[in-house]
Amino acid sequence: MANDSFQDKTVLVTGAAGFVGSHLVDALLAQGAKVIGVDNFITGRRKNIEHLLAGQSDSGSGFSFIEADVVNPPQEYLPAGTQPDFVLHFASPASPPGYQAKPIETYLVNSLATHNLLQYLLETHPEATFLFASTSEVYGDPQVHPQPEEYWGHVNPNGVRSCYDESKRLGETICGVHHRDFGLDTRIVRIFNTYGPRINPEDGRVIPQFIKESLAQQPLSLHGDGTQTRSYCYVSDLVEGILKMATTEGLAGETINLGNPDEHSIKETAEIIHQLINPDQELRLNVIPLPKDDPTRRKPNNSKAQRLLNWTPTVTFEEGLRRTIEHFKTQE
């Protein structure tokens, strides 16, 4: 049963200035939580949390922000005596260009930061719930379709994406060890491609890239022939799933896919976005080589999330795109 209220709970959110992290903070505050957000702005943006920083000094705001690198032991950046009821570890570069530009920072934040946060809980507050933001990239270029949680994946351990894929896999291992061997309540969400307002238009992910190019009346950058597929989840659906995963009883040690199974080829994605932004114009494509180790298909098997969380995404692709496009227009 989900106790979907965070009323008066203390929640530590790492990566709070990021795309997903900032939406999580908004949702947690709306449920009455006291949120400590931590971020070092390696890929996040201050503007994602400006509305929260502005209210930080109000005693009732419930939000406090710490600019710090979460790879360091939490004792070094958290106020003494901090005992979070929940830790949502969302800090990590997430886009392929983003993590490939910062490979060491990426593997450290998914591995060493996960270890340090869990060791901190072990010492200070072992009753807390720890939720790790893993990724569909742990499935690599999957040979099973759609991907269920039991699938172990098909990952290149020494490829251009491995600083991310393999460190997320190690992060999962670290959660498993702290649950099995030390009794902590660790939980893992494997997030599939998510989009929405506040996603960084410059970070190279396909939806912001196509929206940015369409709004600028430029040809859309298509990798390869565009037959590779992705399944896109709107951010409010993802946040709802994450909060349910954190609060549903009896899920310590569990791993759950969170994504929208509505699958589209990249070419089709370009066509839909073009149609929403420039319906009277002909679609122009700028075909560029497929990046190395680019997965050919990605689609979550969501049956475990449906069964255990009673969660299923509800925002359609077109509706989510409309909201995202409107947001991008206000950012120009």
Binding residues for ligand NAD, rule: CB under 6 A, are 14-15, 17-21, 38-44, 69-71, 90-94, 98, 109, 113, 133, 135, 191, 193-194, 200
| Cβ closest to ligand NAD, residue 47 vs residue 284 | 47
Q: Which distant-in-sequence residues (6+ apart) come within 8 Å of 128 by Cβ?
A: 83, 84, 85, 86, 87, 121, 184, 185
What is the spatial distance between Cα 308 and Cα 269, in angstroms, rounded to a whole number? 31
| Cβ closest to ligand NAD, residue 129 vs residue 135 | 135
Minimum CB separation of residue 110 from ligand NAD in Å reads 7
Alpha helices by DSSP H, listed for 192-234, are 206-215
Minimum CB separation of residue 249 from ligand NAD in Å reads 24
Closest CA to 189 of 237, 126, 136, 118: 136
Helices and strands per DSSP (H, E), number in the chain: 11, 13
Catalytic one of 164, 195, 232, 234: 164
| Cβ closest to ligand NAD, residue 91 vs residue 305 | 91
What is the spatial distance between Cα 255 and Cα 245, in angstroms, rounded to a whole number? 9
Minimum CB separation of residue 121 from ligand NAD in Å reads 17
Closest CA to 170 of 106, 81, 125: 106
Minimum CB separation of residue 29 from ligand NAD in Å reads 17
DSSP per position, 135-189: EGGGGBS-SSSSBPTT---B--TTSTTHHHHHHHHHHHHHHHHHHHTT--EEEEE
77 is catalytic: no
| Cβ closest to ligand NAD, residue 67 vs residue 318 | 67
Q: Which residues are catalytic?
A: 164
